Amino acid sequence: MNHQISKLVSCVLVCLVALTARAQVNAGDSVMTHVKGNRLSLGGYGEVAMTRNFFSDNQYKYRNPAKYKDDPSNGQFDIPHVVIYIGYAFDKGWSMGSEIEFEHGGTGTAVEIEADEGGEYETEVEKGGEVALEQFWINKRFSKAVNLKIGHIVVPVGLTNAHHEPLNFFTVYRPEGENTILPCTWHDTGISFWGRAGDFKYEVQFLAGLDAFRFSRDKWAHNAAGTAYEFKPANKYGFAARVDNYSLPGLRMALSGYFGRGMHNTFPNEREGSGKTYDKTRGDVLIGAFDFTFNRFNWIVRGNFDYGTLSDAAVISKLRINTPGASPYNHTYAGKAAEAYGLEAGYDIFSQIDRMRGDGQKLYVFGRYEYYNSYIKEKSEPSYEFTKKNRMAVGVNYYPVPEIAIKAEYSKRFLRTGYNDEPSLSIGIVYEGFFM
């Protein structure tokens, strides 16, 4: 079965390469697509969430599930993402776009004098979030069908990466499966050729490659686009492509994919071809994805299927596990493959109430199902059945105005026999829009 799926993913990537004469950036990923005639564009999006988890938050809950089965519930407040878009249109088809993202409220350090340690000065981490430059690019528009973008760009592989703003999914947090196995939001430095012709949008990208040493058991490639250094190692390169079709009213369908070599893409770089033990270890990464959105008749339905493979996974895992403890690499096994698929559907109840419909308010009642596995192992690797998760969610999204949504959901993860299921209740408020 896995061999058949791998062949299917390979076919998807071949089809994408065949369409490279045609490629695109999605509206949600390009600041300049929102400009509407103004030279300067300013906007962004943000999310605030509160969750109550009715399962243990102990780090050993999967090692000994029975011991932590009756642990008390736990709650958290979070600011998952706050993003500021800034774009500017120059003359002669040149434009600039940028996006600064604050994850989980940002991060911070402070210098303190420790009175109980003889007045010693210490620098301490005071905040555990992240600040990242998610986009910064220069774009040259030759025509609607031909654009060239260079800089730090979003990699639109999968539904969530292409449409990651909070009004593009019903759940309080980003869809869990794709957010687990893929970098999300996936952004990297490279060159993009994109455009639109007829009912097709298309994009082809040349990028710094993923790092096989940053794959992991619990998140597969989620951290593989990142770097712990002041620069991104690019000893190897990757190629991404996406094609969206809008031929049918209200329906968007897309194929996307990525291919690159992940081994020997670390720092420092050990030269291949020198007769060293791991010269022939490639770590080829192949990812294929299909997604769609249907928005018509007061329904919104979204779906995705993602499958990825990592060659030489067992060898790479052993190498990574044996790196020094202070290295920036995960010290768990990484699977030879990972998969995620999901479907969500919501209906606008206010569409049936004249006063609410006339006022522009919407109330979607939705349901979502997804399955994902971040660790499809090689035969020689140990088993970890808790990485296989089914998740179901039901909830509502209320839109008092088009740019703001108030979300609430009840969700539950269903794990394999022997592990405890993981129910939770979440509420959140989000906004997305442009101010100028």
Average pLDDT of 347-376?
97
Which pLDDT value is given to residue 331? 85
Higher model confidence: residue 182 or residue 33? Answer: 182
Residues 6+ apart with CB under 8 A from 21: none
Higher model confidence: residue 37 or residue 146? Answer: 146
Is a pLDDT exceeding 60 seen at residue 317? yes
Is a pLDDT exceeding 90 seen at residue 315? yes
pLDDT digits (tens, 9 = 90+) for 189-206: 999 999 999 999 999 999
Which pLDDT value is given to residue 274? 56
Which pLDDT value is given to residue 374? 98
Any domain includes 113: no
Give which of 75, 89, 171, 195 is closest to 392, Cα–Cα: 171
Quote the mean pLDDT of the chain: 88
pTM tops 0.85:
yes
Any domain includes 124: no
What is the chain's Cα-based Rg?
A: 22
CATH number where 156 lies: 2.40.160.10
Any domain includes 138: no
User: In which domain, by residue range, is 379 found?
Assistant: 2-104+144-434
Label each residue of the chain as H, E or C.
CHHHHHHHHHHHHHHHHHCHHHCCCCHHHCHHHHCCCCCEEEEEEEEEEEEEECCCCCCCCCCCHHHHCCCCCEEEEECCEEEEEEEEECCCCEEEEEEEEEEEEEEEEEEEEEHHHCCEEEEEEEEEEEEEEEEEEEEEECCCCCEEEEEEEECCCCHHHHCCCHHHCCCCCCCHHHHHHCCCCCEEEEEEEEEEECCEEEEEEEEECCCHHHCECCCECCCCCCCCCCCCCCCCEEEEEEEEECCCCCEEEEEEEEEEECCCCCCCCCCCCCCCCCCCCCCEEEEEEEEEEEEECCEEEEEEEEEEEECCHHHHHHHHHCCCCCCCCCCCCCCCEEEEEEEEEEEEHHHHCHHHHHCCCEEEEEEEEEEEEEEECCCCCCCCHHHEEEEEEEEEEEEEECCEEEEEEEEEEECCCCCCCEEEEEEEEEEEEECC
Is a pLDDT exceeding 90 seen at residue 173? yes
Higher model confidence: residue 30 or residue 77? Answer: 77
Q: Are 227 and 210 in contact (CB under 8 A)?
A: no
Q: Are 292 and 253 in contact (CB under 8 A)?
A: yes
Environment class of 247 (CB within 10 Å of its CB; exposed 0-12, middle 13-18, buried 19+): exposed
Given the structure tokens 């109430």, which residue do they identify? 353
Any domain includes 310: yes
Any domain includes 268: yes
Residues 6+ apart with CB under 8 A from 90: 39, 96
Which pLDDT value is given to residue 301? 98
pLDDT digits (tens, 9 = 90+) for 127-153: 778 898 999 999 999 999 999 999 999
- Confidence category of residue 18, pLDDT binned at 50, 70, 90: very low
Any domain includes 137: no
pLDDT digits (tens, 9 = 90+) for 245-285: 999 999 999 999 999 999 988 877 665 555 577 778 899 99
Higher model confidence: residue 22 or residue 28? Answer: 28
pLDDT digits (tens, 9 = 90+) for 324-342: 777 778 788 999 999 999 9
Neighbours of 31 (CB within 10 A): 23
Any domain includes 111: no
Is a pLDDT exceeding 80 seen at residue 166? yes
Straight-line distance from the first to the last Cα atom of the chain, in angstroms, rounded to the nearest whole number:
51
Which pLDDT value is given to residue 228? 80
Which pLDDT value is given to residue 307? 98
Residues 6+ apart with CB under 8 A from 280: none
Residues 6+ apart with CB under 8 A from 173: 49, 80, 179, 426, 428
Average pLDDT of 7-29?
38
> Distance between CA 111 and CA 63 in Å, rounded?
38
Is a pLDDT exceeding 60 seen at residue 117? no
Is a pLDDT exceeding 80 seen at residue 2? no
Which pLDDT value is given to residue 7? 46
Any domain includes 129: no
Number of structural domains, the chain? 1
Which pLDDT value is given to residue 319? 87
Neighbours of 433 (CB within 10 A): 15
- Confidence category of residue 392, pLDDT binned at 50, 70, 90: very high
Is a pLDDT exceeding 80 seen at residue 286? yes
